[in-house]
Structure 1
Amino acid sequence: MIAVVVVTYNSQRLLADLIDSLGPGLDGVDWHLTVADNDSADDSVAEVLRLKPDATVVEMGRNAGYAAGINAAVAKSGPYTAILVLNPDVRLTPGCIHPLLETLRKDGTGIAVPLLTDGDGELIETMRREPAIRRVLADAFLGAGRAGRIGTLGEMITDPARYGSETVADWAEGSTQLISADCWNAIAPWDESFFLYSEETDFALRARDAGFATRFTPVARAVHLEGDSKVSPGLWALLTINKVRLYGRRHHRLATTAFWAALLLRETSRAALGKAPSRRAVRFLLSPSRLRETPGPHTVHGRQA
C-alpha cells in the first residue's frame, strides 16, 4: 500500500488535475490519499472530498507548515510500504510509480525521486548537493547555473547530462518524493521547526547519515508547476534564513558564521542590482530574531557549539 500524502493551503484550483493524475500515475498498485489542510480559506477540503470521497482529510486548524502537514498526514494514513509525498501542483505521468518503486528496492535507497518538468515541458533541476560555504560563494560569483555544471562546485546540479541517468544526490527538492517505510520509521518526523524550506534538505541529509540514499530516477516522470519562492521576497528570505539555520545544526559556530557571511555577500550583491527578494533576504540575515532557533523535534544535528 502506498500512502499518498498531500499538504494543501488554499489549493482548491490545483486539486482536480492532481487527483486526476493519481489513478494513471499509480496504476496497478494499492494506494490511499491523505490530505493535511493548513486551514485553507478556500474550499480545498470540500474539493478533495468531492473529487476523492474515500480520501482521508486532516484539518490542521492553522497554517502549521509543510513538515507538520506531512507528519500529520502520515500519522493518519493506514499501513503502508512507502509514502509518496506530493505538492498540490504536481501531476504524475502514467505509470510513474513503478520505476520509483523499483528504485526504492535497491540496497541503501530510502528516497526515490522522478525527473520533473515544468508546465512548459522544460527540465526542472531538482538534484542538490549538501549546502557548503564554497558552494554559496560559487553561486555568488558564478551564478547557480554555471557553478552547478563545474564538478561538485554548485549546490544545485545543473549539468543536463546528470539528468539523463539514474544517480544518487545528497537531497532533492521536496515536491515529489517516494519514501520507503523503513526510511520513514528510522528518520521521521520531518522537522516542523523549519515551517517551509530546508525541511526536505534536513530529512534527506539525516536519511543519508543513517544509510538511506536519495536516488534520482529519470524514467519516472512528473510535472511540477512550481511555486514562487524565486520571485516572492518573503518566501526567498525564508528560504535563505532557513539555509543558515539548517547549516548551524550540522556544523560548529565558526563554520556557521562563515556560511552566514557567504550568504550575506551573495544576497547583498544581488540586492545592489535591485532584486527585491535579495533585499528582503539581507534584512532577514541581519536580524538576530530571524536567525534564532525555533524549537522543534530535532533541535541539534551534528556538531553544535
Structure 2
Amino acid sequence: MVSTAETVAVVVVTYNSERLIPDLLASLGPGLEGIDWHLTVADNASADDSVGAVRRLAPDATVVEMGRNAGYAAGINAAVAKAGPFTAVLVLNPDVRLTPGCIGTLLGTLRTPGTGIAVPLLVDGDGKLIQTMRREPSILRTLGDAVLGAGRAGRYPALGEVVTEERAYDIAAITDWAEGSTVLFSAECWERCGPWDESFFLYSEETDFALRARDAGLVTRFTPAAQAIHLEGDSRVSPRLWMLLTLNKVRLYRRRHNPVAAAGFWAALVLREGSRAALGKTPSRTAVRALLSPSRLREQPGPRMVHPNG
C-alpha cells in the first residue's frame, strides 16, 4: 500500500506537444492510483495549443509559461518551483504513458535506504523494450562503442555505456543513470542535488543530476515491476539534436574530469562519430564538425535548438 503521507509533484515540460497531451493526461490517474499528486506543466513557448490543451483537459494543473524555449532542465526547475508541497517529484516527457500502478511501485523503490531516484522499465509504442539503463560515460566505453557498436559493447560493463543485455532488464538493479523521460526522485534528492543544470539545455542534464545524486550517496534504482510506455523522440535521426547530444557529453565529462582525461574523451568521441560519418550517417557528420569547432564546444546551447518531441 502507498502511504497517504506521500505527495507526488508531477512535472511535465511541453514544446509543441498538443497531440501528445491527451493520452499522457489520461494515463496519470491510473498510473498514480492511490497516491496524492498534483500536476505542473512548464511550456517552452509552444507554437501550437499545448497550453490550451492542458488547461482544458487538466483544469486543476498549474501551468508555467516560460515565454521562450528555455530548455528541458529550465522547464523542470520552473515547474518544481511552482509546484505545491511534495515528498517526491515525477518528471515525465509528454510522450510517456504510465501503466496502472506504475508510480506506486516506484515509490516503494524510492523508500529503499540510500535511494534518490527510481526509474521504471520502458517499452516503446509497439511494446518493445527500450534499453534505458546507462553506465557513467568513460573513454573506454566510448571507444568500445566506436569499435564494437553500442549493441555489442553494451554487453560488457567496461566497454559500453548503454546496458544492452536484455536479461539485465528482468531484475531490479542500481544503475549509474537512466534516460530521463520517466524519473521519480525524492524531495531529499532535490534538496541535496537540485536544481537540474540549465546550461545543458537538452541532453546530459539527467546524466548530470543522477551522477551528482550518486556523489551525494543517493543511487538510481531501476525497477522492472514498474512499467511505462515511451513513444520516443528523434535525436537519433535529427542531425541537430544528435550534435547537441554529442557536444553535451563532452561538456559533462569536462566538468567531472581533469583536462587530460577530457581531451581523451573528446578524441574518443571524434573517432566514434568519424567512423559513423564515414559510413554515410548524416547526424554523425554534423557531430564531427561540431566536435572539431572550438567555438561550438565552448558555446552554451541556445533556444534555436528544439525539443525532441516537437
Deviation at 1:293, TM superposition (A): 5.5
Corresponding position: 1:15 with 2:21 = yes
- Structure 1 equivalent of residue 65 of structure 2: 59
- Structure 1 equivalent of residue 102 of structure 2: 96
Residues 19-98 of structure 1 mapped to structure 2, 5 A cutoff: 19-98=25-104
Q: Distance in 2 between matches of 1:59 and 1:288?
A: 34
Deviation at 1:117, TM superposition (A): 0.1
- Structure 1 equivalent of residue 150 of structure 2: 144
Q: Distance in 2 between matches of 1:137 and 1:150?
A: 13
- Structure 2 equivalent of residue 300 of structure 1: none
DSSP 3-state at the match of 1:12 = coil
* RMSD over equivalenced CA pairs, Å: 0.9
TM-score by length of 2: 0.94
- Structure 2 equivalent of residue 301 of structure 1: none
- Structure 2 equivalent of residue 241 of structure 1: 247
Q: Distance in 1 between matches of 2:296 and 2:112?
A: 40
Residues 125-169 of structure 1: CA distance to partner in whole angstroms, max 9, x if unpaired? 000000000000000000001000124321000001110010000
TM-score by length of 1: 0.96
DSSP 3-state at the match of 1:40 = coil
Choose which of 262, 265, 274 in structure 2 pairs with 1:268. Answer: 274
Q: How many residues align?
A: 295
Choose which of 196, 211, 222 in structure 2 pairs with 1:190. Answer: 196
Residues 161-240 of structure 1 mapped to structure 2, 5 A cutoff: 161-240=167-246
Q: Distance in 1 between matches of 2:107 and 2:157?
A: 30
Q: Distance in 1 between matches of 2:262 and 2:189?
A: 28
Q: Distance in 1 between matches of 2:156 and 2:268?
A: 19
DSSP 3-state at the match of 2:120 = strand
Choose which of 109, 124, 145 in structure 2 pairs with 1:118. Answer: 124
DSSP 3-state at the match of 2:19 = helix
Residues 75-122 of structure 1: CA distance to partner in whole angstroms, max 9, x if unpaired? 000100000000000000001011100000001000000000000000
Aligned identity (percent) is 75
Q: Distance in 1 between matches of 2:259 and 2:132?
A: 29
DSSP 3-state at the match of 1:219 = strand
Q: Is the 8 A contact 1:7 1:66 kept in 2?
A: yes
Give unmatched runs, 5+ long, in structure 1: 296-305
Give unmatched runs, 5+ long, in structure 2: 1-6, 302-310
DSSP 3-state at the match of 1:4 = strand
- Structure 2 equivalent of residue 285 of structure 1: 291
